Amino acid sequence: MRRCAGILVLAWISLLAQNKPFQQILKSVPEKARLKRNPMADDPEATVAGQKLFEQHCAECHGKAAEGRRKAPALAGPEMQQATPGEIFWIISNGVVRHGMPPWARLPEPERWQIVTFLRSNSAQGPLAGVPEEFRLKHNPVADKPDASADGRRLFAQYCAQCHGAGAKGKGRAPNLVTTQIQYATPGELFWVITNGVTISGMPSWSQLSETQRWQIVAFLRSINAR
């Protein structure tokens, strides 16, 4: 009986310690906090100071570039860009105590806003930041086709795996494509990046592939990042 109780307590504790999806956490932010304006948004030094604070207090769990680690989710993805400054500020201040993130109200308010400024600017960078709105909302026309993902896998192995690795986990300069950032990217965003490439990081445009082939690769990427 005592052993059973012990197991139940351990199970409860391990459940509490699991990561909670970011979108779900955002839902718990009160409406009043959601609408708060960032008083540091126009401060040119806030991003740099926020990055310094992020590296000092947050990077150990979220990764230096907010890319996410086993303990804590990525904060560099589009979900961060979609969150309001007030929502991010509220989460920093209150933490997600039951899921392992401590409240950071111990930092003065202006410092917490500096972190918000950094996170917003950090998530706006990267290839997904430049995707035009009309592409962002495009649906994948092959998404419902049963073979789309398998065809995409073959195309990925042929054209992409050389840089991104066979399992899409990243290799050398090419990033990991099994991340929260890709998980939350819309199909249209992924299609746009494949079509246009990312000149600055050396990824070529794959517009020579047919539209269907590019959508098939998108379907494959979505399947390996399924939520």
Partner 1 sequence: MLQVILSQIDFLSELRYLFHGSICLSRRAGGILSIAVLSLGLLPGRSAAQESPYIVTYDHHLEEPGNLDIEYFSTFGTQADGNDFHSYWVEFEYGAFAWWTTEVYLDGQTTFHDSTIFTGFRWENRFRPLRTEHFINPVLYVEYENITDADKTLKEVEGHDVASDFAPPNSILRQTHNHELEFKLILSKDFRGFNIALNPLFVKNLAPSSPWEFGYALGVSRFLALKASPRHCNFCLENFIVGAEMYGGLGDTQNPGLHETSHYLAPVAAWNLPSGWTVRISPGFGLNDNSHRFLLRWGVSYEISGFGELLHGLFRGRS
Q: Which residues bind partner 1 (CB under 8 A)?
A: 13, 16-17, 45, 48-50, 52-53, 56-57, 60, 71, 93-103, 105-111, 114
CB of residue 115 to partner 1, shortest distance in Å? 9
Is the Cβ of residue 109 or residue 147 nearer to partner 1 in the bound state? 109
Backbone φ and ψ for 30, nearest 5 degrees, come out as -65, 150
CB of residue 218 to partner 1, shortest distance in Å? 35
Indicate the SS3 state at residue 96: strand
- Dist CA 90 CA 137 (whole Å): 28
CB of residue 120 to partner 1, shortest distance in Å? 16
Backbone φ and ψ for 33, nearest 5 degrees, come out as -70, -35
Ordered alpha helix ranges (H), the chain: 2-16, 22-27, 31-34, 46-57, 59-62, 78-82, 85-94, 109-124, 133-136, 148-155, 161-164, 180-184, 187-196, 211-224
Residue type, position 165, single letter? G
Is the Cβ of residue 105 or residue 137 nearer to partner 1 in the bound state? 105
- What Rg value do the Cα atoms of the chain yield, rounded? 20
CB of residue 51 to partner 1, shortest distance in Å? 8
Indicate the SS3 state at residue 129: helix
CB of residue 58 to partner 1, shortest distance in Å? 10
Is the Cβ of residue 94 or residue 121 nearer to partner 1 in the bound state? 94
Closest CA to 119 of 178, 175, 173, 57: 57
Is the Cβ of residue 52 or residue 171 nearer to partner 1 in the bound state? 52
Is the Cβ of residue 114 or residue 216 nearer to partner 1 in the bound state? 114
CB of residue 193 to partner 1, shortest distance in Å? 31
Is the Cβ of residue 52 or residue 136 nearer to partner 1 in the bound state? 52
